[in-house]
């Protein structure tokens, strides 16, 4: 199905992408790789779209925080989230309720790394060139950008084709299909670990505390792909 954007949607997309570019700029200046992913990369944004900047190979969290604050942002909530015992724990730094930075606190498996390509992701340079990329939304619809807006089509039964188009493994596509189908059927379930940091705490010390108290997190830290 072809979806044609009206001027309001194009305006919203331009505004959100400009915000994401601004968030990524202090990282780009220090040659720290980062991506913006999801609807902002694909183009199918809405007024409720969030901006999450993902940093796959981060420096120390304290350096990230200094760069973010140095760019004029006020850091609000900071938290560590591990979605399930088999997934890598990640740090989140929120600069407001819909803008955040995230980064892994342990090595990610291939399926976790490829999630960002599955959803659609763009680098700082690609965002600056106004590139939009294909990706899959939470409805399991493939979003393919067009000059007028985007085309959307179900990925169910086309997992192999979609994997090749997005440059990810079929196992990554099947993993996301299972996760999102389950979420649709029973609703969003809680995460394994969600720990908010106090202003005095650092990511490293809280991660160590969690590793001491969560055997499954310790096992995940030792596992490699």
pLDDT at site 6: 97
pTM summary value: 0.93
- Report the alpha-carbon distance of residue 93 to residue 108 in Å, rounded: 19
Does residue 189 surpass a pLDDT of 80? Answer: no
pLDDT at site 186: 76
Contact 154, 141 (CB under 8 A): yes
Judged by DSSP in three states, 176 sits in helix
Domain boundaries, the chain: 2-133+190-222
Domain 2-133+190-222 has CATH 3.30.460: yes
The 8-class DSSP code of residue 150 comes to: E
Q: How many CA atoms lie within 13 A of 200 on its CB side?
A: 0
Phi-psi bin for 16: left (phi > 0), alpha (psi -120 to 50), beta?
A: alpha
pLDDT digits (tens, 9 = 90+) for 92-137: 999 999 999 999 999 999 999 999 999 999 999 999 999 999 999 9
Tell me how long the chain is.
225
pLDDT digits (tens, 9 = 90+) for 18-77: 999 999 999 999 999 999 999 999 999 999 999 999 999 999 999 999 999 999 999 999
């Amino acid at each position: 199905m072809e979806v044609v954007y009206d001027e309001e949607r194009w305006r919203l997309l331009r505004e959100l992408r400009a915000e994401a570019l601004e968030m990524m700029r202090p990282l780009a200046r220090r040659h720290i790789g980062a991506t913006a992913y999801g609807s902002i990369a694909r183009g199918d944004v809405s007024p409720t779209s969030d901006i999450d900047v993902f940093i796959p190979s981060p420096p120390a969290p304290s350096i990230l925080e200094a760069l973010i604050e140095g760019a004029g942002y006020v850091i609000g909530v900071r938290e560590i989230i591990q979605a399930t015992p088999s997934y890598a724990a990640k740090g989140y730094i929120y600069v407001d309720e819909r803008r955040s930075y995230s980064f892994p606190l342990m090595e990610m498996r291939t399926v976790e790394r490829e999630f960002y390509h599955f959803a659609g992701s763009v680098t700082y340079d690609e965002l600056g060139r106004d590139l939009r990329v294909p990706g899959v939304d939470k409805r399991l619809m493939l979003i393919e950008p067009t000059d007028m807006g985007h085309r959307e089509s179900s990925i169910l039964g086309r997992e192999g084709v979609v994997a090749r188009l997005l440059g990810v493994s079929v196992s990554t596509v099947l993993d996301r299909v299972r996760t999102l189908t389950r979420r649709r059927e029973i609703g969003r379930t809680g995460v394994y670990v969600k720990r908010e940091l106090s202003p005095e705490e650092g990511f490293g010390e809280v991660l160590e505390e969690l590793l001491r108290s969560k055997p499954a997190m310790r096992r995940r830290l030792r596992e490699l792909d």
